Amino acid sequence: MRKFQGAFKGQPCFLVGNGPSLNDTPLDELEHFYTFGMNQINLLYEQTVWRPTFYIATTLKGWYWSKTWRDNMNKNMVNWGLTSFVARTIPIRGLNIYPINMAYWVEHEDKQARMFSRDCAWQVGHLGTTMYVAFQLAAWMGFNPINLVGCDLGYKADGGESRGHFRDDYWGDRGVRQPMNDEICENINAATLLAHVAAKGYMDAHGIEVYNATVGGELEVWPRKDIWEAIR
């Protein structure tokens, strides 16, 4: 892990969320940038030449949700050979896979805000969304500016399913085993928003520029930048 610390100082990168807006995002234009993808981003690969430079998997419960989820992790880490940062509790090891020590604190906002790690080789905080981990890794690796795409926010429940990803079947059979409702989606939105607010506090204090180049969406924590301006 230490070899990544500050290795990309002053270079731009893109953090790619999994929101519905990815279907309207020119991902192939990011092929020559450093990019971070996460979780089941490979479900989009059939539509694009683009592949992320780095892959992140931290959704611990997701490891048990379905065989499809596990297969998709394998495809990103092993089949696609991506440089991967994975929670130590996820039992996949191999070339270019870097286990990370995850810290979970969910008591009070002040504690949550302090979760943002200054040393990802030691510990990385997790707060409601894998994107929070991506923020920490990108900052620790020296990237600046950091651009966001696919960060829509606005999870909504529809017939027990969550409508918050680039594919309606993103969660597979989770809707059967853990039906979504308005309350759960509101909690997801609140936790995700808090993660962005906490990340912004760190980024602003350390002079790291972050822009939201998402096509639409409801996330307004960061200053907006048109996607075509971001990739110029």
Digit-coded pLDDT (tens) for 157-215: 665 555 667 677 776 665 565 666 777 778 888 888 999 999 999 999 999 999 999 99
The yes-or-no verdict on residue 58 having pLDDT over 60 is yes
| Whole-number pLDDT of residue 156 | 73
User: What CA–CA distances, in Å, run from 229 to 51, 210, 224, 232?
Assistant: 21, 14, 10, 5
Which CATH class, in words, describes the domain spanning 2-224?
Answer: alpha beta
In this prediction, residue 115 has a pLDDT band, given cuts at 50, 70 and 90, of confident
Domain ranges of the chain: 2-224
Mean pLDDT over each residue of the chain, to the nearest integer: 86
pLDDT above 70: residue 65? no
Q: What is the pLDDT of residues 70-97, one digit of tens each?
A: 788 888 888 888 999 998 888 777 789 9
Instruction: Give the contacts of 180 (CB within 8 A, at least 6 positions apart).
Output: 157, 158, 160, 161, 162, 174
pTM of the predicted model, to two decimals?
A: 0.90
Of 20-24, 113-117, 188-192, 213-217, the least confident: 113-117
Q: CA–CA distance from 115 to each of 87, 106, 156, 232 (Å)?
A: 16, 10, 27, 33
What's the pLDDT tens digit per position in 24-37?
999 999 999 999 99
**Token couple for 164:** 């918050």
Q: At what angle do helices 130-140 and 182-205 cross, to 10 degrees?
A: 10
Rounded Cα distance, 195 and 185, in Å: 15
Structure tokens at 97: 């896979």
